[in-house]
Structure 1
Amino acid sequence: MNIGAHYLGKRVVVTGCSSGIGQATARLLVEAGADVHGLDIKPAELDLASFRYLDLRDLRSIDSAALSISGPIDALFNCAGIPPGPSPIDVMKVNFVGTRYLTELLVPKMAPGSAVANVASNGGAGWPQRLALLKELTATESFEAAAAWYEQNAPALPSAYSVSKEAVIVWTMRASGDWIKRGIRVNCTSPGAVQTPMLDEIQKVTPAALIDVVAQPIGRRSSAEEQAWPLLFLNCPLASYINGATLPVDGGFIASGIVAAR
């Protein structure tokens, strides 16, 4: 099964293409012969078809980036994200609010048979316990409304990082039922511990031993490339009947936790 062969000559967009999972995804797509258009807040050191500055916290930046990308778009990879930090609203905007807004601007440029892959996290595994609230958040109709909803409800919620990733999962499921009517699939992955610059930032506030708990039972952290290949699979024709799914890419952490809890 040669996943890369399905991207030869395809026009794709990758957010977060300058580092981590996004960089690995963009690199694999370039190597496969895709026409790769990258978006990020920092320049990318890759041979891309084009690169555009994107700040997912800024409505005007998103509008400008989306307007500059012409169609058709065969696949969109939403890999941009930031770790927990001093500004919860920034975390929410980058990981969910801005990502959703950008995607909704690009979906009209996607033809039947195209697909979207979002990067969530096993940090968002608690979404079933907050489904009612997450349905409210993902039902907001604009960037501003979603940001306002979060700021109003934040005191009663856990960390912005967890909630933002939970929102990505619920939004993926919600969007899958609508976009498939246009012939567009949408899925997401749920990575575990991944050795990327983002994890380096997380380790500044979280003990490494605690992070390595998430690396069980496989006993190691994944590489960014090990996260990128599942994204390429979800967005290629080999996955043509997969829609609205959350694929754990965590070495078995969620599965072992579910079994242990029973």
Structure 2
Amino acid sequence: MMRTNGHLLGHRQGLTATEAGARLDAFAPLFDPTTFRHIEGFGLGSGWRCWEVGAGGTSVISWLAKKVGPTGRVLATGADTSWMAPVARPPVEAHVHDVGADDPPGEGFDLVHARLALVHVTDRQRAVRSMIRALRPGGRLLVEDADPALQPLACPDEHGPEQQLANRLRQAFRTLLTRRGVDLAYGRSLPRLLREGGLRGVRAEAYFPVAAPACAALESATIRQVRAELVASRLATEEDIDRHLATVASGGLDVATAPMISAWGRKE
């Protein structure tokens, strides 16, 4: 199983399927266009062998499967693969795997991709080395992770009490992450880590959505998932959370996500 830094938002944190699913459902409209744009730039096509690391939803897996076709392969790995059942059919395979502790589940991959996965892995350097090792010569690695320290606010335009409350709750959430050992500045280190791993042509971009409907959906789902821990830690009250969730549901907040850093490179 994947040994993490006490992942607050993993599939196995006592969450209902609806609670976990709501957050994953928000990832696709927010981040899939950016992810797909980068991967298509690599020339992804029929017959490619792909490893999707720490898969957190089915949208990327399904998209890759359509692109590689019946002659390709999409290996999706994570701590819990039971939820992958709807897409676990050829060319998709689902394996339980810990990228920070286990050997690579194969070699010769044309593409290895990890999105919002490594920040929760204890041994991130080993994880990056493992993914690079799994690539064929000329293969591409794309790693995408958040950098909450780069932009820490839920509402960058803090013009009133509701925005102030949103930002206070975002800070409380960041406090919980820090207590679990999460590196809030991890995303910005990705280009350097890929270069240190020997990749060539390393590039990176940051994606920072503001005021999209999926931003509000992600905010609501995240706060609901960590609600009990926020209250138990005395970082927020039930009244604070109810008020914030109501404001988000009303559409009265321009909610932002933490910037997602996408970094990619090629193995020689």
TM-score by length of 2: 0.48
Q: Which has the higher helix share?
A: 1
Larger Rg: 2
